[in-house]
Amino acid sequence: MNQYENVLKYKDYFEDLKQDDVVTWRKQGDQGGAYGLPFPDYHTKFKEFIREVKNSNLLHKDYINLLEDSEFDINDINQSIEEADFENLRAILTLLIRRERFGDGNWASSVESGDFYYVLVRLEELID
């Protein structure tokens, strides 16, 4: 058993996943009938994956500087994942995890584009 098995077990889960498979958008109304902006309510299995990543040593504390110093291209993230070494892959995964904090629904977009799946595929290649 390798130390990333708890994260890698989600690879098949992400293979054909779409954003509607991981999130329900909710609106919170007050008693006056006014509604705020919709917010994502991520499904249990997806939240378990996020928790497994956070509990692993895969997150990179200096991910911003590492990505700035590399050939990382936010506009072609799948190519960056495909070419990433282990440290850059950790930085990319950290970016994917952290960016939900800066915009609701970023995780769902990353699911839709296959980013999480491609990270897991690349991680498996690098540790084999």
In contact, 41 and 54? CB cutoff 8 Å: no
Residue 84's Cβ-count burial label (10 Å; 0-12, 13-18, 19+) is buried
Amino acid 82: pLDDT:
95
- Rg of the chain taking only CA atoms, in angstroms: 16
Top-confidence residue, 75 or 77: 77
Residue 30 reports pLDDT greater than 70: no
Region 15-22: what's the mean pLDDT?
A: 95
The token pair that represents 118 in the structure block: 């491609």
Residue 64 reports pLDDT greater than 70: yes
Residue 21 reports pLDDT greater than 90: yes
pLDDT band at 32 (very low <50, low <70, confident <90, very high): low
